[in-house]
Every structure is written in C-alpha cells, then in structure tokens.
Structure 1
Amino acid sequence: MKGRNICEYKDCSGLFFNEEMKTIYTLSLLLLIMLSGISCSDSSDNREVPEPEVPEPEVPGTDAAYQVAQMNIATENEAPIVSKDKKDYVNCTVTISSTKEAWNYAGTARIRGRGNSTWLWYPKKPYRIKLDKKSEILGLATEKDWVLLANYRDPTHVMNTFAFVAGAELGLPYTNHSRYVEVTLNGSYIGLYQLTEQVEQGESRVAVDAMQGMLISLDADDGPALNPEGGDNFWSAVYQMPICVKSPEDATTEQLKLVQDDLALLEQSIRDADYDRTAQLLDIASFIDYMLLQELVYNVEVDAPRSIYMHKDKRGRWIMGPLWDFDGGFDFDWSTMYTGHNFFTSYKELVLGTDPANHIGGYRVPSFFTDLFKNKRFVTEYKKRWKEVKEKVMADFWRETNLYIENVSGAMERNAKRWPIDKNYRTEINRMKQWLQQRADYIDTVVANYPSGTK
C-alpha cells in the first residue's frame, strides 16, 4: 500500500476496504434504508392505523336513577283526592318524563291518599297509585302498585332514601328503591316526591308464595287495637305484639292460624334465648342487620312497634324486612309531631339501650327485639357485624345518598317554595351528615360495651 492514499481503503470508522467491498457496503446500506420504511404489517396496506377510542369515564351520579323525573297526574274530571280509603280511589292518567327516554311512561291508573299521621296532619299529602296495567316505572320492576312519599316532615328529603341505601348495601332482601319525581296534579305543581314500591307480596316485590308464604307487619296503627273485628289482625302469642297479615291476602281461618302458630314458635325460641333453635326459624343475620340499622338512625317506632315487616316463604325461615318508614328517626322531636321538622338534636339517644337484654338506657321496646342479647353467641356476632357496618356508614351509605342529594337539590329548592317550612334543606342535610358521623362513633362505644350474655 506504499504510496497509496489510505482513505481509499479505510472508512471513517477505521475499517479497510477495497473497491469491491465499498460497492457491496454501499448497496447494503441503501437496502437497509429502504427496508426501514416498510411497516411490519402487510406491505400492500399503507393506511394509517387509527388510535383506539378511549370510552368516556362514567361520572358518579349521572345515572338516571339519581335524577329527578317529572310526573303529571290528571284525575278524571279533575276530581279531588280526599280520602285514603280503598273505596275512594279516583281514576286518573299518569305521565312520566325521565332524563332517560326509555323510562318515559304514560298510562291510566287510580289514585288515593295513604299513610297515617302523614295523611292526617300535614298539608303536603302522600299518595298510593294503582296502575291499570302492570308496568315498569323509572327502571323499577313491573308492578301495579306504587307509592308517592311526600316527606313533608323530613326537611332533608333523604331519610328514607338513606335507610333504603343502607338496607340494599347490607343485603336485606326486597329493600325498596328510591326515585325522585316532581309532581304536577291537575295542572298544579305539588312538589318533590319520593316514588317507591308498595310493600306487598309479588314476584317483583316480596317474592314469597302467595298461598303458603307469609308477609306480616308489626304495627300498632294496623293491628287488632284499630281493627277490633279481627280479620287479618291478631296479638302475637308470646310478646303480645300487634300483627297484621299482609300475605296470604284475605287469609282463611286456617291460614291465619298457621301464621299465628308459626310466629309463636319463633317468639318462644327468642324468649328462651336459644340460639340454635332460633337459627332454625329466623335468619339471624338479617335480624342483626335490621336492628343495627334501626339503632343507627334512632328509629324509635320499634317501640310501638310500627312499620316493622317480616316475611318467610313456605318451609323457609323468617326474615326481617322489607324496611319501611324512617322519617320518625334521626332524633325526631315527637313533642312537635303535628307541625315540627326538628331532628338531630342529640346523637346519644338509644333505641336498644346500653344493656338491651335488661332494657337499660333505651326505649322499652318489645322483648322480641332484645331477648336474644341474653345469648353469648348472638352478642358476639352482633358486635362483630357492627364493626363491619360502622365502616360503611359514611363511606358507602352516605356516599350514595349524597348522589341523590347532588341531583335533587334544584327540585328541593322548588319544593321549599311550594311548601315553606322553618328549616333550610341545605342546613338540615349538613346536620344529618354530621349527626350520622357522630352517632356511628358513639354507637361503636355502646356496642363494644354490651354485656356479653348469660346463656
């Protein structure tokens, strides 16, 4: 190589080439450049691959179930609704407009008043609607019978909703749903209502056998004291509680005796605080959840009792529920029951007390609800379950209730103008939230210190 320019034989990287190698290197380089522009996909398809579509994330609370629907009720000849008696139903048409178009509805029905104190004492009336044809309403299962709760006493509009949400979260069977509607009756706006299912036997309601299943209410306003002629009403054999048989409907003498005898067996096992025997007759888990919720919201109507439902299917066990009627809870001031909307004064009042088995520190509720606290195993399970429930009160029950609040607030404002009271719904909702937080903490201490039982 003497006398030759070294650049003829060496590239910039320091490799030595002859002329033939330089040619091969150049061609290889060109080929690599061409190949680098070819896609790994079929070379005959040079179309650009579009970016995958990312679905919009769901915004909590935007579901139509939390929204307010519009309901228009027109009675025949604009007849007034003056009674809650079954014979005084008024023919009407019902139309519903929802934010979800598939939930819009129009049909014929009958309407009457409903309730006890809520019908008699308050200007904003609750109603019972019976559709002429079974229909799905606002996404709820097909049936004829529906309820419009006025919630006039409740300044938050969500006391029943909170209880229904809690019941559903706890898994109590056949817990009612909440839908909010603004109602116009014969052309006049009558405010915000809570639409829910009628508590009754049925495939899409309390699905027990129509002939051999049982649905009863423990209710002083629906029991033998107000129905002296008997019928479907009787005093329970052991605890002398007022009972009304809701199903079988129009029970025969034989069916009525079957309910009486079956309930008496359960009452006796509870009086004996016999856990094993009671567990054969009663779903104890549902009993615990039911009573925990009554105590949480301080529902003193367990005392009378009122609006306490139980059901069982043929050859099954008794189960507590469905839940019903909670606008007398949350530390309601019963001294102002005719005109007041006063709640949340104290979070330290108790239904079952500090020693339920001995009725210490609470209401004198029927011992049907407290005698099991004499049993060590029951008390252990009750305490364990409360620890689980306590964690859900604000994280789950209130969180979902608040979804309704966020979507219903505009209708609450319009309702307040139609039915002005001495309370502001925003203030009362905040008080309810604070009360529940404080009460859950307080009950935590109370339940932890329940006596352990003697049996």
Structure 2
Amino acid sequence: MNTRLLFFLLIICPLSAVCQTFTSSNLPILVIDTRGGTILDDPKIVADLRIIDNGPGKRNNLTDKASFTSVMGIEYRGATSQQFFPKKPYGIELRDSTGINSVAKSVLGMPAESDWVLNATYNDKTLIRETLTYDFYRKMSKYYASRFRYCELVLNGEYRGIYIVMERLKRDKNRVPITSIKKTDITGDAVTGGYILKIDKTVGSTSRSWKSPYPSGPRNINLDIQIDRPKPEDLAEEQFQYIKKYVSDFEASLAGSDFRDPTKGFRAFVDEQSFIDYLILTEVCKNVDGYRLSAYFYKERDSKGGKITMGPIWDYNLTYGNADYCEGNSYMGWAFNFSRVCPKDDFVLPFWWDRLLLDLDFARKVKEKYKALRQTVLTPERLGAFVDSTSSALTESRQRNFVKWPVIGTYVWPNGFVGRTYEAETDYLKTWIGQRLTWMDINIESFGVLTALREEAAFTLGPNPSIGDVTLKLPLPTPTDVSLSLTDMQGRALQTRHWPAQPKGLFERTLPATDFNTGPGVYILTISTQTGPTSRVIVRE
C-alpha cells in the first residue's frame, strides 16, 4: 500500500462540510490510480485498479490486501451526467499488463468480461432507483438486465463516494446473448444477426445511423436509429444495409394496414414478449426517457430466432417521480404519451408504441401480464422491501457519500422531489410506487378491449368544413388521459393540449377558430387516449 496514497485517503473534506475519515467499509472498495494521467471523455487512459473485497459480512479496510488487481483503461461516460455533475460516471476496460489488450475477468462475482461501468448515481438521492429497476426486471422477465454491485471508490487518493459497478451492454453469452458478428459476415445467415441498435442522443456517439422513414411525434420527426454494435470500424457496408432494411421492413409492417396480421404484420419481425415486458417496466417506473432515449434493441441471426428483441434495459435514474419536467414526477399518466405531453421536445418516441397498442391482442397481453405480476413480484411491499434492505446496507457508506457530495435537501436537476433527509427521499420513492400501481390498476383495464375501435367510430367533429369554432365529442368508456394535437398539412404543430385523468363519459371540447392560425386549408386533428391515437381531417374554408 502506497503510504502517500493512504495519507490522502484518510481525510474527506468537501467544501462547506465537516471533514471525515475513510479507512474501511462494509462495501467493496475500488482504488484507481491513473498514473498521473487526466481522465478524458475519449479515449481511455491507462490506470491501475485494486478491489478490496473480503467477502459477505466481512469488513474491507484500505490496508487489506487486494482481492483483485488489473491494469485498465478508464474514461468518462454519459452525456448530461459527465457534463454537468461534479460526481462523474466512468467506463472502464480491463487490460493485460501492457495496458493495450483487453482481457475478460470476473469482477465482484459477476461473469468475466472486460468492459464495465461505474455508475455515479448522483441525482438520485436514494441511490436505489437504478438497482431497484434492474432487480425487478430480472424477476419479471426472461430477458437480460445488467448485474450490479455497490462499492465505494477512491480515485487518485481522493474519496469519490458510492458507485454502482455495472455490466456494460455488450454482446456476450452472459450479457446480450447474440452472436458476435465479424466484418467478413456479409452473406447468408451470417449477415442476419449480431446487431445491437438504439434510439438515443447522437451527440458524442460514434455509432452509424439512419433516419427512420416513418415520422414520429406531433412534429413528425424522422428519428435516428443507431447501430451500437458492431462499431463503425467493424461494420461492413453489407451489414449496414441489411439491418437498415430489416428494421425499415419492420416499421413498414407496423405502419401498414395489415399490421395486426400474424404473418404479414409486426409479429413477423419482432419478439413480441420483449416489447410487452419493456412496456410494462417503462410504465411501472414511468421513465421520462423511456422509449426515446437509451432505448436499445437487438437482432440475432435468423437461424437462432432472428427477430428484433426489445432491450437490454438501461438508464433509470430519472424514474419513479425523479423528474420535474413533462409530468415526470406525477404518478398519473402513461410514459408512452410523452411526445403528446411535451410536443416540443426533440427526442420523440418512435411511432411503434402507439401502433402496437392499437393491436387489441398485444394490448390485452400487456394487461394480462401486468395483472399477473401484481399478484407476485409487483407489489408496493416487495418493491419497498428492496428499497429498505438496500438503504440499510448503504447506511454508513451513504453518510460518507453525502458528506462528499452534500446534495440532500438541495435541488439537483431534474429532481421531482427534494427531501430534507435521506429518509424523506426513500419515503417519497415508496409512496410514489404505491400511488403509481394504484393508478395503473385502474387505467390498464381498458387495454385490449374494443375501446379504440368504439372511440374511432364515435369521435365526431363539427362543423366540418368550418369557418369558425370546431367542437369535438369523444365518448370515454373508462377514465383516461386525453391529449390533442393539431397540425397543418406540412406537419407543423399548431396546438397541443393535455387533459389528465378524464372521467368516464362524454368528453367534449371546443377548438376556437384562432387555433387554425394558418388560414383556410386542410388540418389534421389527433386525439389520443391510453388506447392510442385517432386522427381526423378538418377542412377550413
């Protein structure tokens, strides 16, 4: 143990806080030394990693012999978090002694791989939302979710607080279980699989992408579909063209009139159950970024199943009411309505989810699985027990973490709630979960019934054509949110409105003539409820 390093480790003195010492922990301790180098966003710099982990129930001291050592590469990761937050997330790659070649190793009992993530969990003051979500998904679904371990980090002699060691999303038999496609795999079955794709921000991304030919959201945005793996330098042109065509064919099938057909429709292209599970998870935690950011999906070779699988899941710090924009802190409303609630946001949901929910069989399966989960792993008691047990395990380490990063009682973007104590934060989380599930129990009942078809037949506008105000009438068989968007024929959004939690009965509203502010012509009015959108043409004379 470097005595100079130990000296610096003993004292934690953040600004405006009382100094404390750090010599041991009930969590594993990660000690990283960058050899005097400065960590960058890219590329990774060479560093040394030591992990002190004496096993379950045993204390870990900084002076103990390391249970794991490795040379590694380290870099910043994340978009918003690395740019705006002082507590940075990191990506690490385990390497051999030369510091050049990656090597797969088991870390903290997780299956061997070379690439890992150190999640800073800065703006979630419970420190639990990410792990709660991965734990729940692993219990509710057969699909992969990243494994994790909490630790405390010391970087270049400085205590950095609690981090979550997580598996990076990667093709591997223990991670995303698909074939690792080679650049020479350009024909036959070999070209058909091994792809991980995503819908996400493109800033800072090295992914190759294309624009979806099918507009999404009230502003008819053609969103970017990115290839996460293979990396651009490992991607043959034939592979790019293959997966672009496959995803575009899926979108065409979903947008087409036969989208419900079991052989011609979307089911010919996708693993339906993965989409059901992804939707349920996203709605339970009401992920404000759900469907539209960090939204991964993958495709294996045709000989091994070969359909688009939704997932793996990723990035859940802005969930369970931890976002103060676009109704992210409300336990009411569907996450798949984000683009109607916030029509000016540039990151829109793909049109997929509205369309899928118009398939009554798909919607019915969502409801049936949700209701089955409510009898087993999806209860406030079970989720609350995870929160309580995790917060208990973090008792001493979180106290050090919040001395280093004094965020308790302080707003950190985009907190939907600011508690004066850590206990207030976890109480809010548990209360929000209970309220969310109660709301979903009521509002999911209309999934999979003929509501959408009855609404489409009953949705009336008058007068149409018109020169003045226009009145719309829509019978609501069950309570639901109602959203409205009005666009002109160029796709420009003119008006958007949202009415949460509308009661059963006749929904009636008047659109004033001033809404049609581009003059005479043709307009598109779209009304959306929890069963999906329905559109009508309005002619202005």
What TM-score, normalized by structure 2, do the two folds share?
0.64
Report the equivalent of 2:105.
135
Structure 1 contact 103–139 (Cα < 8 Å) conserved: no
Cα deviation, residue 360, structure 1 = 6.8
Structure 1 contact 350–361 (Cα < 8 Å) conserved: no
Higher strand share: 2
5+ residue gaps, structure 2: 1-25, 59-64, 96-102, 182-192, 216-221, 411-418, 455-541
Report the equivalent of 2:27.
68
Q: Aligned partners of 1:231 and 1:69: how far apart in 2?
A: 34
Report the equivalent of 2:144.
174
Give per-residue Cα distances to partners, 1:269-311, cap 9 Å, x unaligned: 22233251322321111101101111111112136x2100101
Q: Aligned partners of 1:275 and 1:441: how far apart in 2?
A: 34
Report the equivalent of 1:237.
213
Q: Are 1:307 and 2:270 counterparts?
A: no
Report the equivalent of 1:9.
none
Q: How many residues align?
A: 370
CA 1:122–1:238 in 2, change beyond 3 Å: closer, same or farther? same
Match of 2:178 among 192, 208, 227: 208
Report the equivalent of 2:358.
374
Q: Aligned partners of 1:149 and 1:317: how far apart in 2?
A: 31
* Runs of 4+ off more than 6 Å: 359-364
Structure 1 contact 275–378 (Cα < 8 Å) conserved: no
Matched to 1:145, the amino acid is D
Structure 1 contact 126–148 (Cα < 8 Å) conserved: yes
Q: Aligned partners of 1:275 and 1:245: how far apart in 2?
A: 28
Higher helix share: 1
Give per-residue Cα distances to partners, 1:178-200, cap 9 Å, x unaligned: 21000011121100001100111
**Higher RCO, 1 vs 2 (CA within 8 Å, ≥6 residues apart):** 1
Give per-residue Cα distances to partners, 1:6-37, cap 9 Å, x unaligned: xxxxxxxxxxxxxxxxxxxxxxxxxxxxxxxx
SS in structure 1 opposite 2:318?
coil
Structure 1 contact 172–322 (Cα < 8 Å) conserved: no
Report the equivalent of 1:407.
393
Q: Aligned partners of 1:413 and 1:231: how far apart in 2?
A: 39
Cα deviation, residue 156, structure 1 = 0.7
SS in structure 2 opposite 1:204?
coil
Structure 1 contact 248–255 (Cα < 8 Å) conserved: no
5+ residue gaps, structure 1: 1-66, 337-342
Match of 2:427 among 419, 423, 430: 430
Q: Aligned partners of 2:80 and 2:54: how far apart in 1?
A: 31
Give per-residue Cα distances to partners, 1:422-453, cap 9 Å, x unaligned: 24322111110110011001011111134634
Matched to 1:168, the amino acid is R
Larger Rg belongs to: 1
Report the equivalent of 1:165.
135
Cα deviation, residue 122, structure 1 = 0.3
CA-based RMSD of the aligned residues comes to 2.7
SS in structure 2 opposite 1:404?
helix
Give per-residue Cα distances to partners, 1:394-417, cap 9 Å, x unaligned: 354443454322212221111011
Q: Aligned partners of 2:283 and 2:342: how far apart in 1?
A: 10
Report the equivalent of 1:122.
85
Structure 1 contact 233–244 (Cα < 8 Å) conserved: yes
Q: Aligned partners of 2:396 and 2:423: how far apart in 1?
A: 11
Report the equivalent of 1:29.
none
Tell me the percent identity. 24
Matched to 2:226, the amino acid is C
Q: Are 1:93 and 2:93 counterparts?
A: no
Cα deviation, residue 238, structure 1 = 2.9
Q: Are 1:328 and 2:318 counterparts?
A: yes
Report the equivalent of 2:228.
246
Q: Are 1:221 and 2:206 counterparts?
A: no
Structure 1 contact 76–91 (Cα < 8 Å) conserved: yes
SS in structure 2 opposite 1:302?
coil
Cα deviation, residue 370, structure 1 = 1.7
Q: Aligned partners of 2:250 and 2:423: how far apart in 1?
A: 44
Cα deviation, residue 254, structure 1 = 0.7
Report the equivalent of 1:107.
70
SS in structure 2 opposite 1:393?
coil
